[in-house]
Each structure stands twice: as C-alpha cells, then as structure tokens.
Amino acid sequence: MFETALGETKFAVISNDPISVLHVDDDVAFLSIAKQCLEMQADIEVESVQSVQEALEMLKTKKFDVIVSDYQMNGKDGLEFLSEIKATGITIPFILFSGKGRDEVAVKALNSGAFRYIDKRGALDATYAELASCILQAANYTRAQAMLKDREKRFRAIFDSCIDAILVLNDVGEIVYSNKAAKDKVYYAKDQIAEALNKHFNKQFASTYEQNMHDGFKQLSDGNLLMTGKTVELALKNTSGKTTIVELSFSAFIEEGQWFGVSIVRDVSDRKRQEQELEESQQTLKALFAYNPEAIVFTDKNSRVTDVNRSFTDLFGFTLEDIKGQKITDVIVPEELKKESRTIQRLIAKGPVTLSTKRKRRDGTIIDVSLSGGPLVVKGKIIGFFINYQDISNLIIVQNVLSSALSKAELLNEKIVVLGGFTRHDVRNKLGLISGNLYLARKKCKIEPTLEKYFSDIDESIKNICDIFDFAKTYEMIGVEELVPVDIGKMVQNALSFFSDLKGVKVENQCIGFEVIADSLLTRVFYNLIDNSLKYGEKISTIHIFAQKLGEDSVKLCFRDDGVGIDKCFKEHLFERGFGKGTGFGLYLIRKICEVYGWKVNENGQPGQGAQFEFTIPAAKVKWINKSK
C-alpha cells in the first residue's frame, strides 16, 4: 500500500523487490513522461525502448516482470510484438497501452494473450494510476505463479525424497499420483494396492455408514481435510515372486470440489521379520521356563515371587497362586538357614551364584538342592531375580556312599602298601641271608661243579625275586604322584646315574630343556629302556634320545639304539605283562606309566638296525621345548 502525488492508491504487493517494466513506444517524449509517472506511482523501475526490435534484443539479456507496449509504432506494431514473444515462449504479462481504437484493438490484444488493454487517452492521474495498478496486478500474478512453481518443486522434492511410497487416489479408487519411492518399490503392484484400498474403504465405511468409498470420503465432518483411517497390511509379490509386506495408512483432501485419498505405503518386511523372530524367541524362552526340568522362580527386587514354573511346583508343592507376592525366603527356606539365605540374596544381586544348600517343601520335609541364580537386568537396571533349584538328595546319598567307599578303599590301599612294604623288606632280608650262606658255602666248602650249578640257579632265582619286588614297588607308585612339569633330559641323566658300567656305550641325550607333564617314574621308563639295550642290544655302541615336533597337536619323543633290534614276531606282544626275555615286567611298566601320562608308546625299529621306541605326547602335555634343540 502506498500514496502517490497523483492520489492515494492501495495495492497488495507480494514481493518487496521493485517491479521491473519494459516500456516500448516510438515517442521519446511520451516514454520519458510515462517513466516518471509510473515510478512516482509505486516501487516500479521502467526501462524504455523505441522499437519492437530493440525490445526483443533487450529481452534476450534482461528479465522483466511486465511489458508495456504501444500499439501503433514504426516498424512492427504492438500486436506483432505480442505474437513474437509468445512464439519464443516468453510468458511475461503483456499490457497494451495505446490510444488506438479501444474496442477493436482491445479485443485483438486480449484474444492474442495480452494481460490487459489500457487506453492512454484520458486524465493523466487516472490513466497512470490505472496502468500502475494493472502493472502491480500483473507482477503479483507472475510472482505468485513463480512462487507456486517453487513451492511445487519443493513439494515434489520432499514428496520424492520420502522413503515411504505415497499414492494419491481419486474418489473411485484410481491411483492418479505417486512419488518416486512408489514407482521404484511398489508400482508393479499398483492394481493390487488399489484393489486393497477399495476393499478396505468399502468394508470400513459399509459397516458403519452403509455407503461406498466415494461416499465414505464425504463423511469428513465440517470440511475437515484429514481423515484418520485404519491401517492394513498387504503382501505384495514382485515379478520374481518375492513377497514384500507393506503397511497402508490413509488420509484424504479435497481439491476443486473433488475428494482424493492419500495412502502411505511403508515396507514393513524387516519389522515383521524382527517381530516374528522376537515372537519365536519369546515363545522359546517361555517354553524353556515352563518345561525346564529344573525348578525356577522369578522374584521382584524385594524377593517377592512373581512366577514359578511347573518343575518348581513338582519339587516344592507350591503353585504360583499359593505363593505369588510372598517372599521366597518365607516360603521354602528353613528357619535355621534364614541368615544364609539373606547372604545369598546379597550375592545374587551382584552377579551369578551357584551353591548347594537345603530347602523346605510344602509338607515340611527338608531336601538337599543345588541353587543357582542371578539378577534380571533390563536396560541396565535390575528388575528382579531368578533362582534355579535342582533336587540333589539322591546325589548327596551317592556322594556319601562313594565317600565312605573311598575312605575304605584308601584304608585298604594303605594297608596293602604297608603290608607290601613290610613283606618286601622281610623277604629281602631272608633272601640276603640265603645269598650270604651261599657265599660262605662257596668260600668254606669245596663245591662240586654239579652243586655249583644248583647254587647259580638259586642266585638267579633270588635276583628274579628282587626284580619282582622292584616291579611291585614301582607298580604301587603309578598314579600316586601329582603330575608336574619335569625336564626329560634330567630324567635321562638320573636314569644313567644308576648304571655303574655302560659297557662303552655312548648315550646322546638331546632332551635337556624339554619339559613335559609327568612324575618321578619317568626315570624308571628310561632306566628300563637303557637296561634292555645294554642287556639285549648285543652289538650296541650308541643310544640316542631326542624329540621331534609332529605338528600343532603333538610331539614325538624317541629312544633309539644301534643294536640288533627286535624281531617282528615279538612286536605284537612286546608291551604285555610277562612277555620278554627277562621278567616280562619292564616294558609292561613303561606302557602303564605312559597311560597315566596320556602318552602313546610304540616300537618302530628295524630288526638288525636297532630298537626305536617312540612316545607320542599331546601338545597339552608339553610344557616347553628348548628351541635351540
């Protein structure tokens, strides 16, 4: 709104920017006056030219809100000018400002697309006030159209950027508009969606209003353009057969007297899958709770019962209805264990707890139970506790029986060991007396060759009896000692220390620093192997003891000599008790000791080339291997 020197005029202005006007007239003086009058009337900036050609050139480089043109000019007239700019696609409002034949020229101008015709003849103030008003109207119209286009473009950008498919339907259920997401994701199923929408609206409104969808739209009260409708789910199949679950929601609006429905189609396949997985998980957890063989109770933060399973009822005799809301300590904890129960509750609040205790059944009987429990945590907050109970009464009975049997076995074993030790000691003393008497007999009496043979047999028998006693003592020790890391190289050295004469045999011990999990009987293993090599190797000159890594899972310990080796016919029974050239106990003992260690032992030497005993040791039994070896 503004006031001019020519009078007060009120206009509604859409923009605060000056209105740019291109004024075309071949009268220079008139152009000057018109420019001054218009620019006095309003915030108008006038650019004046004297010919159509000049105006066309200027339109190529500048933008104008309105064109004002005379009709009759040198060269092309105003109507020809209008025709040319229309032909080039220029849509700037065109006002014909002329004094030539108002009716005749006005009709032609308006029919050709002019915005207005104004007769320049008449009172100056009225004429320019009318022209200024017309210019403002034309500019407002142009700017309003531009704003609408901008808004439509912005709306389209928002509309198309929506990740949900949006469909617009007319009042008979036909899809008349859709966004990019709809075209990309669900347009293949537009007929299916339209059919679903029709069915939904018909059903929705028929049941309430007994009217069809078209009439249903019109049930909006007081012209309210939004309708909060129901949502429906629909399974859509694409051309490849893949099914997509979508959720359809509805609203409505009216445009130029016609109702339109808007449907937002949201892909909920992932949500439905997650809901299905959650439902299955919940059902699984419910089943685990309900049918768990262990008795389970859920409590709140104050230890009041909120739920129990079937096994709890079977074990203690209480149903949920019997004890819901009561403190679990008041229900199944014996009076003398109340203090212990409070301690357990404090521990459970800090984390998982497992222990054995006693609990009271409904009939008052006390049973032994294994108790395990912990806090129920939701979003970082403790909302309650769970406790599992398992009846271990029978297990306690079995444990007591086993404990009693074990005590008796330990006592019996102790008696056997003591008796065996005393017996071996006493018998060895008697054997010593026999050996002494044989020695004296040989020294003081003349022994015939035949009698010497009998004496030698007695000596051999005494030695065999001592070997059997050594076996018995060693066998008693198998599995008694705790298995600890031992150095195999040092065990070999210990075994060698028992031999006063190696008969010139060289022993190559390459196992210093090789530690395994074993006990002191490992010395006996190497003693027996070395003793056998010295006794039966015949041409033996070297014993080689070394280790090899077989892979990530095991290590091979080798004992090799270069004697005559072992005949193939003996190898099958080599580690059996009583088999062999001596007592038959040496290799049997080695096998039994290896079984305690978790090792495997085999003889893989070649007859005539020497014996080779190989011990396969699991990697878990190897403590450390000296890498320099």
Which CATH number is associated with domain 480-624? 3.30.565.10
Q: Give pLDDT, residue 53.
A: 92
Contact, 608 vs 565, CB < 8 A? yes
Domains 162-272 and 291-391 share a fold: yes
Predicted confidence (pLDDT) at residue 324 exceeds the cutoff of 80: yes
Question: 150 falls in which pLDDT band (50, 70, 90)?
Answer: confident
Degrees, nearest 5: CA angle 535-540-545: 95
Question: Between residues 237 and 313, which one has the greater pLDDT?
Answer: 313
Q: What is the CA angle 56-58-62, rounded to 5?
A: 125
Is 237's pLDDT higher than 80?
no
* Residue 352 in this model has a pLDDT that exceeds 60: yes
| Side chain identity at residue 39, one-letter code | E
Within 396-505, strands assigned E span 484-487
Portion of the chain with pLDDT greater than 70, in percent: 82
Task: Reply yes or no on whether the pLDDT at 226 is more than 50.
Answer: no
Burial class (CB in 10 A: 0-12, 13-18, 19+), 523: buried
Whether the Cβ atoms of residue 513 and residue 487 lie closer than 8 Å to each other? yes
Q: Where are the domains of the chain?
A: 2-152, 162-272, 291-391, 397-474, 480-624
Say yes or no to pLDDT of 299 above 80.
yes
How sure is the predictor about 6, in pLDDT bands with cuts at 50, 70 and 90?
A: very low
CA distance 392 to 366: 12
pLDDT band at 218 (very low <50, low <70, confident <90, very high): very low
What is residue 364's predicted lDDT score, i.e. its pLDDT?
93
Average pLDDT over the chain, rounded to whole?
Answer: 81
Question: What is the four-CA torsion angle of 511, 515, 518, 519, rounded to 10 degrees?
Answer: 80
**What pLDDT, on a 0 to 100 scale, did the predictor assign at position 479?**
61
**Residues 476-528 pLDDT 10s:** 666 667 888 889 998 898 888 888 888 889 999 999 888 898 888 888 889 88
User: If pLDDT is split at 50, 70 and 90, which confidence band does 217 have?
Assistant: very low
CA distances from 335 to 342, 362, 366 (A): 12, 14, 11
What pLDDT sits at residue 219?
A: 42
At position 284, the amino acid (one-letter code) is T
Q: Once rounded to an integer, what is the mean pLDDT over residues 57-65?
A: 91
| Best CATH choice for the domain 2-152 from the list 2.70.170.10, 3.30.565.10, 1.10.10.10, 3.40.50.2300 | 3.40.50.2300
Q: Tell how strand 366-378 and strand 381-391 pair up.
A: antiparallel
Lowest mean pLDDT of 18-27, 180-189, 334-343, 371-380, name the range: 180-189
**CA separation for the pair 376, 461 (Å, rounded):** 75
Structure confidence at residue 619 as a pLDDT band (50, 70, 90): confident
pLDDT tens digits along 408-422? 776 776 666 655 655
Q: What is the DSSP letter of 287?
A: H
SS3 331: helix
Tabulate helix, strand, coil % of the chain (nearest 5).
45, 25, 30
**Arithmetic mean of pLDDT, 301-305:** 93
Look at the domain 162-272 and name its fold.
Beta-Lactamase (3.30.450)
- pLDDT category at 616 given cuts 50, 70, 90 is very high
Is residue 7 pLDDT above 80, yes or no?
Answer: no
Question: Picking from 3-12, 285-294, 348-357, 534-543, which range would have the lowest pLDDT averaged per residue?
Answer: 3-12
Query: Phi/psi of residue 280, each to 5°?
Result: -65, -40
What integer is the mean pLDDT of 257-286? 84
Question: Residue 405 CA to chain centroid, in angstroms?
Answer: 50
In the DSSP assignment, the letter for residue 563 is S
Percent of the chain with pLDDT over 90: 25
The CATH superfamily assigned to 291-391 is PAS domain (3.30.450.20)
Largest alpha-carbon pair distance within the chain? 180
Distance of CA 34 to the CA centre of its chain: 79
CB 611 within 8 A of CB 565: yes
